[in-house]
Amino acid sequence: MVMAEDADFAKRLKEWGKKNGKKYGTIQNAMITSCRKFDKHGDWVLLKRPKMILAYLKGTDQKYADEAYYENQDR
C-alpha cells in the first residue's frame, strides 16, 4: 500500500483479534498526527475530489499518494 497503511493495519488487527478472542480498544491521547495538508488546503479539499478519496481508501494509487503526501512533484 502506498497510503492508508495504518488504517489497513488497524482493520486487519481488529479482524485478527476477533478471530482469536481478543478485545479491541482505542488508546486515547497516545498519538498526535500531522494535519499539514488540511491546514494548508482546508478541511473540505478531499470532498471536492472524490477520486482522491477512493484512491486513499483503496491505498494503491501512487499518483494520488504523491499528491496527498509530498510537496514537490514532477507530474
pLDDT tens digits for range 25-67? 777 776 666 677 667 777 677 778 888 778 877 878 888 778 7
Please report whether residue 65 resides in a domain. Answer: yes
Range of the domain at 37: 5-15+27-69
Q: Which residues contact 44 (CB under 8 A, 6 or more apart)?
A: none
Please report whether residue 20 resides in a domain. Answer: no
Q: Taking a C-beta distance cutoff of 8 angstroms, is the pair 18, 24 a contact?
A: yes
Name the residue type at position 46.
L
Question: What pLDDT does residue 53 have?
Answer: 79
pTM of the complete model: 0.50
Please report whether residue 22 resides in a domain. Answer: no
- CA 30, CA 61: separation in Å to the nearest integer? 29
Please report whether residue 75 resides in a domain. Answer: no
Please report whether residue 64 resides in a domain. Answer: yes
Please report whether residue 61 resides in a domain. Answer: yes
Number of domains in the chain: 1
